[in-house]
Amino acid sequence: MYVLCYTRQPLDEQIYDYKLAYSMHLAYSNDKNNFEPLNHNSGVLFAKAVENKEDGTLKAKSLRNPYLFHLADNSFGVLAIRTEAEGDPDEDSKGHVLLFTSPDLLHYEEIGLIDLRADVFVADLICYYDSEEQHYVIHWCDEEGNYYRNYSRDLLQPESITEPEKAEPFALATISTDIEGAVPRNVIEVSAAVGERLVRKLTVPINIKMEVPETICASGPEELKSVRAKALYSDGTVDYKAVNWDLDKVDWNVPGRYQITGTVYQERYGFPIAENRADPCIIKWKGKYYFIATNDADGNQSL
């Protein structure tokens, strides 16, 4: 399976603004040509906010030009350019690139900024592991169109990064996709196990099968209430559902075998669940679920 790394073109603030668009998105393909977006065409990896030393508030950051690559141990790395929230240059990131690692493209750890030992803003980059030389190559260019190359035996060890040397230009492969707003970066091949799990977790689960016992022994309708239908989903999960049984043809006073049908009970919930609520968070505590969110109706002055 092939995985495409991309960002998106920002749209109206109320639809898909800079802070959403300037993040890493993923899509998948079995033929390296026709890509389908994952996670509803929304970002899967964002730059962490940084703390303002003066007042302790958080300042949002974004990432541009992410590049996805294999690490030496067959896990994954992402290098990107950290920017201010709306894509402007981030002074603290001058001469640096932002590194993430991931075991499965589902869970990520932001390692932090890697110092390329140059007092210029990075405009673009690629990275790969050279198995023959047993080191990583960070190939990048600045805003003036000058190209450089750094080497590292271990990206997690800052002292292993070499001084930049002049290098030839590089160009990313042209990738064509009709994914809405996509700005393609690069494609890597992943194992079937990684790819299938990625698709299962980042696409909408679909009910693929319902299972019920072929035979049920019951002396009254109350005993049927404990019988559940087993629902199987495309992401590998299972759930057990109550069933509304059609018992019109059953005479409980006459023992025998009856063929019955039923309809799986589906709870229906209103949408939206809560209005004027942003930054929602749900936690489970002592057997119950709790929902908390900011209150947009009063300008986020309360929860």
Mean pLDDT of all residues in the chain?
Answer: 94
For residue range 54-99, what is the model confidence (pLDDT) as tens digits? 888 889 999 999 999 999 999 999 999 999 999 999 999 999 999 9
Domain ranges of the chain: 2-202, 207-264, 270-303
Asked if 87 contacts 62 with a C-beta cutoff of 8 angstroms, the reply is yes
Q: Tell me the per-residue pLDDT of 218-273, one tens digit each, with 9 for 90 and over.
A: 999 998 888 999 999 988 899 999 999 999 999 999 999 999 999 999 888 888 88
> What's the gap between Cα 131 and its chain centre?
28
Q: What is the pLDDT of residues 190-225, one digit of tens each?
A: 999 999 999 999 999 999 999 999 998 999 999 888
CA distances from 205 to 118, 166, 186, 264 (A): 47, 49, 27, 17
Token pair in block for residue 120: 């210029």
Q: Classify residue 249 as exposed, middle or buried by CB count within 10 Å of its CB (0-12, 13-18, 19+).
A: exposed
Residue 3 C-beta-side C-alpha neighbours within 13 Å: 28
pTM: 0.81
The answer, yes or no, to whether residue 303 has pLDDT greater than 90, is: no
Q: What is the pLDDT of residues 148-180, one digit of tens each?
A: 999 999 999 988 999 999 999 999 999 999 999
For residues 277 and 292, the answer to whether their CB atoms sit within 8 Å is no
pLDDT tens-digit profile of 105-151? Answer: 999 999 999 999 999 999 999 999 999 999 999 999 999 999 999 99
The three-class DSSP label of residue 69 is strand
